[in-house]
Amino acid sequence: MIFLDFIFEDRDIKWLAWLERPLAKLGKVDMLSVCIALVVLLVSAITFGAHAHQHGGAHADKAETVLLAGIAGLITYMIVGGLSGYFEDKLEEEEEREHEEEEEAARTGKPKSAVRLAGKAAFFMFLYLEVLDASFSFDGVIGAFAITNDIVLMALGLGIGAMYVRSLTVYLVRQGTLDDYVYLEHGAHYAIVALAVILLVTIQYEIHEIITGLVGVALIGWSFFSSVRRNRALAAAEGESKANETEAVLTS
């Protein structure tokens, strides 16, 4: 669902334009991502879940378990997304109301309750950020199952990863890196869908952790180098344009 919601949105910057452009047009259809997710879930339950392996090599019909888990995950994702959108709208309403009251206070000369307005805006911002944090936590925990089923390793990895990612995110924001390497977001979402496919396949077949890790690293690395090539091409085009302008001025 994270990948589908990303790929069905029409964006100004496209990495794999041959794929993203037609999918963005399909994204205009309401609830398309939910329908595709349910179809994939149904197919996975019928194909992988019906012939899943138990410990010891025996076969077991896990179609019901796959369907139950998938529907529960889908409901959770939609609830978190709905709450996120609700709090975001509320925050925008509070900001607009605060702006209107500021203008009215400036017109009439009456003091406004800055504490109340700031408190309400901060409250909705807090709820909005908490819901966003919950959504990323769900994503991280589910993705960890694609690497290992050891709870201790998962807890250590997610804990270290949370601290590292936070520091890395703050650094990237301050340096403006994500604005320079515009395809990194695309690469991350393609890595997410790769993990999703691997998780579905591992219902029946075992996939080595090295393969799972390398797939994500390869996609993000590919997007990084694509961003570097794009920046170099833009810089070369800009330099050529300036050279042409200088030549035209000298000629005239």
Q: Where are the domains of the chain?
A: 31-144
Give the mean model confidence (pLDDT) for residues 22-51.
86
Q: What is the pLDDT of residue 120?
A: 60
Q: Show contacts of 32-37: CB within 8 Å, 24+ apart.
A: 32/4, 32/8, 33/1, 33/4, 33/5, 33/8, 34/1, 34/74, 34/78, 36/4, 37/1, 37/4, 37/74
CA dist 250 and 85 (Å) reads 56
- pLDDT category of residue 10 using cuts at 50, 70 and 90: confident
For 150-180, how does the pLDDT look when each residue is reduced to its tens digit (9 = 90+)? 888 878 877 777 777 778 777 777 777 667 7
Name the phi and psi angles at 60, rounded to 5: -150, 145
Sign of CA dihedral 225, 229, 234, 236: positive
Q: What is the dihedral of CA 78, 195, 158, 84, to 10 degrees?
A: -20
Lowest-confidence segment of 131-140, 192-201, 203-212 by average pLDDT:
131-140
* pTM score: 0.71
Q: What is the pLDDT of residues 88-124, one digit of tens each?
A: 777 777 777 777 777 776 777 665 554 555 566 666 6
